[in-house]
Amino acid sequence: MSGLREEAAGRSAPAADFLKRAARIALDLLYPPSIYCMACGNLIDASRPYSLCDACRERFGWANGDSCAKCGRPLHGGGPQTLCADCAGGGHLFEKGFACVEYADCRAVLYGFKYGGRTYYGEHIARVMHDRLLWEGRAQTEPANGRDANGRDADGRAGGPANAPAHGAPRTGERSGRAGEPGTGGLRRLGVDLLLPVPMYAKKERKRGYNQADIAGRLLARLLAVPYDGKLLERIRDTHVMSNLSAEERGANVKGAFALARDREDAVRGLRVMLADDIYTTGSTLDACAEALLAAGAASVRFIVFAATGAGADAGAGDLRGVM
């Protein structure tokens, strides 16, 4: 009898999923998601950038202020350090990373995007990523107010341009505006030949119904007007839950878990690749991706993430449900 119940439950699961999706669509029609702040749920008007209310934009710890020059995670303390403690120890295979906001401030956004079926968040997250890269490109080439070409002042501290909003939020007035419209020279100077999402294991992606990194990455590629391939890099084996693993255990967990698709091993040779993902914690997953891409001949591997845990934060804090 238990087998019959399990079989019946298996058949009813797709119907239940369909009803949930239908209910969500109906609610979206009655209460369009664009009129709510995706961080706190307060009512906003459609003109608010990134679908965030003014209060949330002000309180977010945007990472284009003091951030690690290697992985992009926010730094705290205001000292002259340019690297977080982890990156100062070396060992990362990626060339450089960029983060947009501190994870602690945007947990609700990432949870809804990753587990709540709110795939429409991807458009706003991609916009934030785009503007973060635009700011970075200009900061590297347009020094101002006593800052050098890396955006650092005489004491070595990083910072946003003079007209950046509070907390270094991406400058909304500099967005490209239309999907497919090339960015400014600042974006081109960052050097991206190909954008790839960090892949999910196929079985997990089928269960969830989508890969959040693919949704945001695909939209970001359109904004950047750069080539995109959501199927080139594959996660070839499942990995264990990582919330309770140390940094060393995480590295071992994902080592060798990624590879290029069969018969496409030469597709990244000589290219400057950028990876897109939702969150950066210890960098183990991005290192494992970089290892596969560099072994296939990529010239360099960088990444852009929406959120990153702050320097010194618990590595497990960024995992939401402990699954990466």
pLDDT in tens, 144-157: 444 443 444 444 44
CB 248 within 8 A of CB 278: no
The whole-angstrom separation of Cα 2 and Cα 14 is 20
The whole-angstrom separation of Cα 260 and Cα 235 is 9
Rg of the chain in Å (alpha carbons): 20
Q: Closest by alpha carbon to 304, among 182, 131, 157, 169? A: 131
Cα of first residue to Cα of last residue in the chain, in angstroms, is: 36
The whole-angstrom separation of Cα 181 and Cα 273 is 20
The whole-angstrom separation of Cα 86 and Cα 243 is 18
pLDDT in tens, 71-127: 999 887 666 668 998 899 888 999 999 999 999 999 999 999 999 999 999 999 999
pTM of the predicted structure, to 2 decimals: 0.77
Conformational region of residue 22, where left means phi above 0, alpha means psi within -120 to 50, and beta covers everything else: alpha
Chain centre to alpha carbon of residue 82:
21
Q: Give the β-pairing of 96-102 and 300-308.
A: parallel
Sign, Cα dihedral of 98, 104, 106, 111: positive
DSSP state of 182: -
Q: Across the chain, what does the average pLDDT equal?
A: 77
Q: Give the β-pairing of 258-260 and 272-280.
A: unpaired
Whether residue 285 has pLDDT greater than 50: yes
